[in-house]
Structure 1
Amino acid sequence: MDFAGKDKATYVKETFNSIAPRYDLMNTLMSLGMDKGWRRLAVQKVGAMPGMNILDVCCGTGQLSFELGQAVGSDGNVTGLDFSQKMLEVAERSLQQTSNTAHIRFIQGNAMELPFPDNSFDGVTVGWGLRNLPDLRQGLKEMIRTVKPGGKVVSLDMAKPSLLGFKQAYWLYFEKLIPLMGKVWTRKASAYQYLHDSAREFPAQEELVRIFAECGLKDTCFTNLAGGVVAIVSGKKP
């Protein structure tokens, strides 16, 4: 993948800083409005319950963090971490406008070196973030380190559909139409070309389940959404 002469971390940070103001709108357009339901399913998969303390890695504009907040309630805590300052600024503005009663905080940080002690959280989520990490396994190991034994690590991300015909139509849509939408709505076609390219290179859901297990999680599994366009992959810390 071409990172315009930059390392992946720098390229990704600059890319997401540039599209932050329209990021949520584009997610809704690209997913045909299904993204909110997908986030709710991820919250269910991580087992978020009232009073829990949950970490949301690569939180972006905080949409998954807010869904987690609804689940953990006023006695719970949600920490959203991202390295894009512009995305966090959008998250903070949304936080000021929400009626969510959970204790939600957003911090800037590096998913490759999470600034938390071992066994700090009841569960960890990452939404559309694993494929942006410079080292997927290192980032996953950091999430496992910070979750308590018995807690889950849950990823919601692009996947690879396998149904003949649908698969070809999907990749054509993603390769041609999504960058065009990005150009129209964010004036940043290259950012949405990156989303296509990173989705292409990201491990298929079946392989990601194996990687979760290799990194030390048990009961690993995946759930396909929208015909396998998106998948939730999860595992439990022993």
Structure 2
Amino acid sequence: MSYLPSKDKKETYVRELFNTISNGYDRTNKMMSLGRDERWRELVVKRAQVKPGQTILDVCCGTAKLTMKLAEAVGPGGKVIGLDFSENMIEVGKENISSSPHRDIIELMQGNAMALPFEDQQFDAVTVAWGLRNVPELEVALKEMIRVLKPGGMLVSLDMSKPSAPVFKQAYWLYFEKLVPLIGKFGAGKSSAYRYFCESAKAFPDARKLTQIFARNGLTETRYKNVMGGTLAIVEGKKE
């Protein structure tokens, strides 16, 4: 049985999926990453070259964990907008930022990554964590993120990739196919959502190919950094 929806049904499917698992999403992420997800978000902030006073957009922000890291980096003179199309994830995000000392410079809003509700060249940097894999049209979303990015700004993505080392590669996919759905059922109450995550990771371009897509869409200084043995990757590019 395939858990990957067709392209025309993907937006509705993914939105409903994340609405369903929103309450257990952070807990499950922590379990799956063995507590290392915070460190990965810190790497995204570093690679985005975020500076105090800047205005940053976090696309597919989910429960606003990365959004809060970005707000910490821009400080009181800056602004961070987190956008996600799942209203339930946004609500959990609002709960998360309520205790943040940087909550006054964070704005969370519901919106579509493929039709961003912002003017051209509005943001100093754009980030997207575990989001490009879930949009129906990757390059449409990518073009939108580039459109709202200021010249000289960085676009940085954190997402799944594909390990290549023998033995480790087989062990990883076995873990993802067999154990991750069980973790998802325990942590978020929905194993089928995490079966979708596995299938979408297999279908998503690996780090090298995604870097090429970034370059094809006009970004320069494109590169990638493998994380966790190549199971994840940070892919980045600069808008000239």
Q: Is the shorter-chain TM-score for this pair beyond 0.5, marking a shared fold?
A: yes
Partner of 2:187: 185
Count of residue pairs the alignment pairs up = 238
Partner of 1:227: 229
Q: CA RMSD in A?
A: 1.2
The amino acid across from 1:214 in the alignment is R
Partner of 1:133: 135
Q: What is the correspondence of 1:170-181 to structure 2 with a 5 Å cutoff?
A: 170-181=172-183
The 3-state SS of whatever aligns with 2:109 is strand
Superposed CA deviations along residues 85-129 of structure 1, whole A, max 9, x for unmatched, are 000000001111112266000000000000000000000000000
Partner of 1:110: 112
Stretch of structure 1 that moved more, 50-59 or 96-105 = 96-105
Question: CA contact under 8 A between 1:112 and 1:139: conserved in structure 2?
Answer: yes
Identity %: 53
Question: CA contact under 8 A between 1:75 and 1:102: conserved in structure 2?
Answer: no
The amino acid across from 1:230 in the alignment is L
The amino acid across from 2:127 in the alignment is T
Partner of 1:19: 21
Question: CA contact under 8 A between 2:63 and 2:92: conserved in structure 1?
Answer: yes
The amino acid across from 1:75 in the alignment is G
Superposed CA deviations along residues 189-236 of structure 1, whole A, max 9, x for unmatched, are 110001101101000000000000011100100001111111100000
Which ranges of structure 1 fall in alignment gaps of 5 or more residues? none
CA–CA distance in 1 between the matches of 2:94 and 2:104? 14
Question: CA contact under 8 A between 1:128 and 1:156: conserved in structure 2?
Answer: yes
Partner of 1:145: 147
CA–CA distance in 1 between the matches of 2:155 and 2:54? 14
The 3-state SS of whatever aligns with 2:98 is helix
Question: CA contact under 8 A between 2:3 and 2:192: conserved in structure 1?
Answer: no
Which ranges of structure 2 fall in alignment gaps of 5 or more residues? none
CA–CA distance in 1 between the matches of 2:115 and 2:103? 29
